[in-house]
Amino acid sequence: MTTLYHYCSVHSLLAILTSKKLWMSDCSKMNDSQEGFWADQIVREILNEHSSSMSDDDRDQFITGYNINRPRPFLFCLSSEPDILSQWRAYAMNGTGVAIGFDASIFPRHKLLPHTYASPWDNTSLWPVIYNAIEQRELVGAMFNNALVSPDICVKDGGRPNYQILGALIAAVNPVLKNPAFSEEKEWRVIHSPQITTNAENKHDVLGSSYTIGQRVSGDQIVTHFEFPLPQALIGAVTEIWIGPRSRLTKSDLELSLGINGFGKVLIKASSATYR
């Protein structure tokens, strides 16, 4: 069993325990200004390497497919480590919050990256974030090269690649690549990539999602999210809870909250950080 940890405030902890739901939130409201765009430079470099075999129209078709299909992902963020000081400070109210350990098997896993036009059961998946610049480039390059010669992906009749389809395929990699400066977070994320449409009368529709959409206030922003329900069998869904280094939360209060909300016996630990 793999446990992944969500750092948050005590307020968020209680909201999760009582509602039995997690919020997959709009990535554009997160603290990395390049969230969802980090892959762009890598993609441009790969395109330049293939410039001799691509016409201007091929390149335009690729860029069109890439931009139209760039996902607007909604993320639930986790870490593989339960006691990282920078995580306590950034995401758990400066160390006064908790790190909730979830059994990773409660989250869907798929071989293909979630993308905007996927069916509702295919566009939500747990993925590790890739920070290493060499690994990022190898991933994008391999996807590009494999698709170029695959009749199952983007090769047209007559052997010519459909570069718009290729661009759409590569666009799906954006949510799993991140600035290496964030590598100490050791992040995994549940990625949900629906399509939100609107018309001239400002009527909005959500395509490709079976989850309930909602909004909340965070600081001075309205943040849109989708609700991911925890399994009905709650025992074992939460495997551990770590109490932050500056938290005044007591073990007895935490055990009571877990018990009355149906989560049963959960291992409770205290951070080893001597941060005050």
Q: Is the pLDDT of residue 153 over 90?
A: no
Residue 20, sorted as left (phi over 0), alpha (psi -120 to 50) or beta, turns out to be left
Q: How confident is the model at residue 152 (pLDDT cuts 50, 70, 90)?
A: confident
Tens-place pLDDT, residues 223-233: 999 999 999 99
* Cβ burial, residue 220 (10 Å; 0-12/13-18/19+): exposed
CA distances from 66 to 37, 53, 152, 265 (A): 11, 18, 19, 47
Task: Give pTM, 2 decimals.
Answer: 0.93
Q: How confident is the model at residue 188 (pLDDT cuts 50, 70, 90)?
A: very high
Tens-place pLDDT, residues 17-50: 999 999 999 999 999 999 989 999 999 999 999 8
Contacts of 20 (CB under 8 A, 6+ apart): 229, 230, 234, 261, 262
Parse the chain into domains and list their residue ranges: 3-270
pLDDT of residue 118: 65
H-state helical runs in the chain: 10-19, 39-49, 56-68, 85-91, 133-148, 163-171, 251-260
pLDDT of residue 117: 66
Tens-place pLDDT, residues 75-133: 999 999 999 999 999 999 999 999 999 999 999 998 888 777 667 677 899 999 999 99
According to DSSP, the β-strands at 267-270 and 238-243 are: parallel
* Cβ burial, residue 227 (10 Å; 0-12/13-18/19+): middle
Q: Residue 7 corresponds to which tokens in the numbers above?
A: 């750092």
What residues does 267 pair with on adjacent strands?
Answer: 240
pLDDT of residue 275: 95
Q: Which of 262, 220, 270 is nearest to 245 (CA)?
A: 270
